[in-house]
Amino acid sequence: MKNDTRAPRSPVLGKVLLAVVAMTATLGAIEGVLRIMDFPRPVEVRRAVPLDPELAKLPALSGGVWSMVKPNLHHVFKRRPFRTNSAGFRGPEYDKEPGPNVFRTVLIGDSVTMGSGVAQGDTYGRQLQHKLTASDEGRTHEVLNLGVGGFNLHASVRRLKAIGLGYDPDLLIYGWTSNDIEGPAYRKTSAPKDRTVSAFRLIRWLGPRWDGLRELISPPAGSYIHELDENYFRNPEAWSFFLSDLDELKSVAEDAGVCAAMFMHTSTLALNSFHPFHRYYRAVEKAAEDRGIFVIPSYSYFHGRNPVDYWLHSGDPHPNPEGHRILADAVYGGLRNLPPDCGLTLGEAPGDKAKSSKPRPEPARHGLP
């Protein structure tokens, strides 16, 4: 009888193989569920021409930032009509002197304020005007929208002084966006993001969540959040330039004898516990409050929602009409708490009780102080 010289099978190896098989089966099951949930998905069709045949007859707006401030424009921009008045801003003609019982607000800011990609009537400025008039018995409200795509606070204040003050405003509102820190000393460090899409749904599902967690705790070099961190918290020249413009805004308001408010546009990315922009909101909010500028946040109105539902489309996170409706609710809600000496006393706008865009409870905020 021959002796069996083969080494006995290791029980550990068997357990490892069993664990690998179980893990593979689990991941495969998750992948299968995600594929079922992901199918069928409507595919967005990008049109090369405006949807409205009448708009196709109009010239497309081109030429960058300065093409948007020309007077008497009647063009198409992002498949929507884009018109300016004789003063070079979106909206109808206004008399320089407000009429009797008219409360006039001048709104300054960037492409979000301007309403990039939405019709004039859908901008949060125009919707705010309707809300103010509806809730302020005996007075008519006018909201003059001086927003320009690509403008930072420095350019917006210059535009306010050159044009806005000539309309004798009763209130100034600056619509702040996180990229308003950009200026002469701004350091651009982000790299183009790899847009390669994995064939596995599980990786596509986990990837953004892992990226969001990293950007919340320790943004990787080359990411846009890392770039914002560098400029807000480690670039004194860029931060000082922004603060000097806040000082100028406050000074302009004081000289005009009116209140200044800052409306904080929510960045519609990861509207949940992974939202990485809170640290910039806090820094800018404190800077404004230290200067006596009334601050109106908007994040609580967006928290818990699906971000892409409020984008123009998958490639453009500017707010769509529904996003502007929520912004209008937020800025109106904030203005109800404006100090009495600002001359604006508001109740609840008619129809607000039926709206769903009320402030929502926010989670604990993480990130840099």
Helix %, strand %, coil % of the chain (to 5): 45, 15, 45
Alpha helices in 218-263 (DSSP H): 224-233, 236-256
Judge whether 276 and 219 are in contact, CB under 8 Å: yes
CA atoms within 13 A on the CB side of 64: 2
Per-residue pLDDT of the chain in tens (369 residues, 90 and over written 9)? 555 555 555 676 666 676 677 666 665 665 454 445 444 343 343 343 345 665 565 667 666 776 788 887 767 777 777 888 999 999 999 999 999 999 999 999 999 999 999 999 999 999 999 999 999 888 999 999 999 999 999 999 999 999 999 999 999 999 999 999 999 999 999 765 554 544 555 444 444 544 555 555 556 778 899 999 999 999 999 999 999 999 999 999 999 999 999 999 999 988 988 899 999 999 999 999 999 999 999 999 999 999 999 999 888 999 999 999 999 999 999 999 999 999 998 877 666 554 556 665 554 333 333
Which amino acid, 79? R
Q: Can you give the residue ranges of every domain in the chain?
A: 58-354
Q: What is the SS3 assignment for 77-141?
A: ECCEEEEECCCCCECCCCCCCCCCCEEEEEEEECHHHHCCCCCHHHCHHHHHHHHHHHHCCCCEE
- Residue 311: what pLDDT? 94
pLDDT of residue 206: 46
Instruction: Output the pLDDT for position 82.
Output: 80
Rounded alpha-carbon distances, angstroms, from residue 90 to 79, 102, 108, 121, 194: 16, 19, 12, 10, 37
d(CA 132, CA 105): 10
58-354 CATH fold: Rossmann fold (3.40.50)
How much is the pLDDT for 3?
58
Alpha-carbon gap, residue 247 to 239, rounded angstroms: 12
How far apart are alpha carbons 307 and 274 in whole angstroms?
12
